[in-house]
Structure formats: structure tokens, C-alpha cells
Amino acid sequence: MLFHVRMDVHLPPSMPEADAAELKRVEKAKAQALQAEGKWRHLWRIVGQYSNVSIFDVESPDELHTLISTLPLFPYMKIEVMPLCRHPSSIRDDDR
């Protein structure tokens, strides 16, 4: 199943810079591992915001929930999820 996921990150201004940097480092490693596994198919930054738009390819909504909720930045995110299905006018064979 494909899901469009928007994640807006809101770190508290009071968070020490070293803590924020470490959290971002661990988040990046987790995101890259999920991309390598094929679960996190696309990841785009939204210009001018600490936000991204992503496409996840997972077996179920439960799997997506588990993946997202285990992200290190999850406690600081506002998340919007939209399930996707293939459009009949698409010319791509690999967009499920």
C-alpha cells in the first residue's frame, strides 16, 4: 500500500542544540535505512519549512503507524497521512 505522508517537525526552542543535533542524526540514519529497505520510497523537503512530503510503500496502515511512531522525531511531529491508489490514467507501470 502506498501512503502520502506530510511531516511537520516542531522542536521546542528550549531543546539544547547538542540534543537536537543528535536527534536529527539518529532520525537521518533511520530514514535512510527505511529508504534502503524500500519502505520509504520518496522523501522531499518542503522549501522554507522544517517539513517533508514522503511516499511510503508498506503492507498495511498498521505497518505505516509502527514505522512513523518509531521515528526519533515522532514526538515533535504533526503528521498527515493520505492512502494512495493507482490512477487509471497513469502511464507508469511501477507506481502501483
pTM for the full model?
Answer: 0.90
Overall residue count recorded for the chain in this entry: 96
Find the CATH number of the domain harbouring 39. Answer: 3.30.70.1060
pLDDT of residue 94: 73
82, β-bridge pairs: 4
Please count the structural domains in the chain: 1
| 93 within a domain of the structure (yes/no) | no
Q: How many other CB atoms are there within 10 angstroms of residue 90's CB atom?
A: 10
C-alpha span between 8 and 51 (Å, rounded): 4
Residues in Cβ contact with 38 at an 8 Å cutoff, skipping those fewer than 6 apart = 57
Q: Is 79 exposed, middle or buried (0-12, 13-18, 19+ CB in 10 A)?
A: middle
Within-domain flag for 90: no
Instruction: Give the pLDDT of the chain (96 residues) as one tens digit per residue.
Output: 999 999 999 999 999 999 999 999 999 999 999 999 999 999 999 999 999 999 999 999 999 999 999 999 999 999 999 999 888 898 887 766
Task: Report pLDDT for 92.
Answer: 83
**pLDDT for the residue numbered 93:** 79
Domain that holds residue 6: 2-84
